[in-house]
Amino acid sequence: MNDSHDPSSNSELFVRELKNCLESAPVARGRVEVSRTPSVVDVMGGIGEDCGALVLTATLSFSNFAAAWISAGEGVRIRAAEPRSEIGLASSVFKDAGGAGPILEICKDAEWALPTCLALAQAVPNMQQQLGEGRLEILVHSSCPSDADFGRHTVQAAALIDVLHKLERRSPDRAEQARLASAAVTELTGLSSRRTALTALCGSNGESLLQIRFHPQIGCERLELPKGIVIVGVRTRLMRPTTPERLRETRRCAEMGHRMIAELKRVDGGATSAAGPLASITPTEYVEHFRDRLPTKISGKAFIGRFGGLRGDNGELEPSAVYKIRSRSEHHIYENRRVHEFAAGLSRARRTLDPEALKHAGELMYASHWSHSQRCGIGGVETDQFVTAVRKRYDDGLLGAKVTAGGAGGEMVVMMRDDDRARAALDDAVAEAQSASGRAIETYAGSLSGAESFQSPSFDGVLAAGAPS
């Protein structure tokens, strides 16, 4: 089993480059501020965040750093620590209400800077300190592999939003910071990911998961893992990757299904108010009242004719496209029930050490994986092969596995015991799945806390040295 990059060595690399940057662009006003966010994986719930579902997330030990300070000069300069890169932009790019278009064009040859630039565009209208009173210097660095996801763009945007709040001495509003980071990345991917941003900001280390509710209002709570249980990130490489469009299509279909069910409720009961979120419908209610009345498929043209178009992040409907309403909708309905049962199982296992509670939680992960694959088309043959290999090794300490919502459908999580036997079993499962697919699989153990808990003595000296005389 591979460990993620050593957090301490990654901090040292960033500190060295920050010192170099401060020598070439000393602080002219205020001080240097630094933020660090971890990479993030969905454990259960995932893409159901905008359907009112409960979502469970975890962090990995990839570090995503952002430093910011004001130097003499004007405009904005953004630098990457490794590999060394630099891009300069005029302040007007972020002040003008031109949307993401100008930034996407400017950064077409600097993809590494896009999340930072888009987050800056979201933050500037809310910044009390106006750009133009010096040059805003930004240094970023991520230890996450460049071809991996694990919430990459969102956690980078969250680090930038957090460090700008520090620069202005503003008390952090984590929900608002997450909204800004998610809005920035939505401009890039078309996918909202507030759960990832919230976890990057206030997630805990590997001893617990973060429970996030978005309805009727945002709420975050820790869900302590049973003693000796860990979540491990896994990266497979799909021969046929899931495109972001598939994720957007899944969300569109869920919204369409919600609209249809609201109409069915109105017809059945004469209700005049809109129905609650899709995840508020129980599986029993769904089967008894709605499943057979929802079409398996519907064209965009037919839906628009009855209900009009969609609004918000999920994009426009294509009249000629065919949308799989029923399967996408019922994924969210059943997944919400699975998430609640999973959380209850972990809590019971932690209190009572009941092995059956842990076993049931693992089975819920497998059911979630099946639903993502079969109902939503997220994942692939390679992830199914890995899940099969993990499932054979329950007695050796591998308790559950499923696809997570990033990485083009190839990223996964495993719940396992934290001992040598389980680690050896995971290595065996990887070898079996690699042999079956002929494609590489990497595993990543370890976890970091979110930005609000970030403290590193290794930064004290460089931050003091960066203070203006």
In single-letter form, the type of residue at position 201 comes to L
Give me the pLDDT at residue 40, please: 96
Residue whose token pair is 């469009």:
245
Q: What is the pLDDT of residues 296-337, one digit of tens each?
A: 999 999 999 998 888 766 668 999 999 999 999 999 999 999
Of 77, 66, 31, nearest to 162 by C-alpha is: 66
DSSP lists the bridge partners of residue 3 as: 445
Class of domain 7-224+451-465: alpha beta
Q: How high is the mean pLDDT in each 10-residue block of the chain (469 residues)? A: 59 90 92 94 90 93 94 92 89 71 83 91 73 86 90 95 90 90 87 92 92 87 96 93 84 92 86 69 94 95 90 77 95 95 97 95 98 92 96 98 86 97 98 95 94 76 62
d(CA 181, CA 202): 14
Q: Given this model, what pLDDT does residue 272 score?
A: 46
Tell me the pTM. Answer: 0.92
Q: How many C-beta neighbours within 10 Å does residue 312 have?
A: 10
Domain ranges for the chain, please list them.
7-224+451-465
Q: What is the pLDDT of residue 171?
A: 82
pLDDT at 451: 94
Instruction: For residue range 35-55, list pLDDT tens digits in order.
Output: 999 999 999 998 888 888 899
Cis-peptide into 216, omega within 30 deg: yes
- The residue whose two tokens read 């979502």 is 55
Spatial separation of the C-alpha atoms in residues 113 and 103, rounded to whole Å: 10
| Residues 460, 103: Cα–Cα separation, whole Å | 34
N- to C-terminal Cα distance for the chain? 48
Find out whether 6 and 31 touch, Cβ atoms under 8 Å.
Answer: no
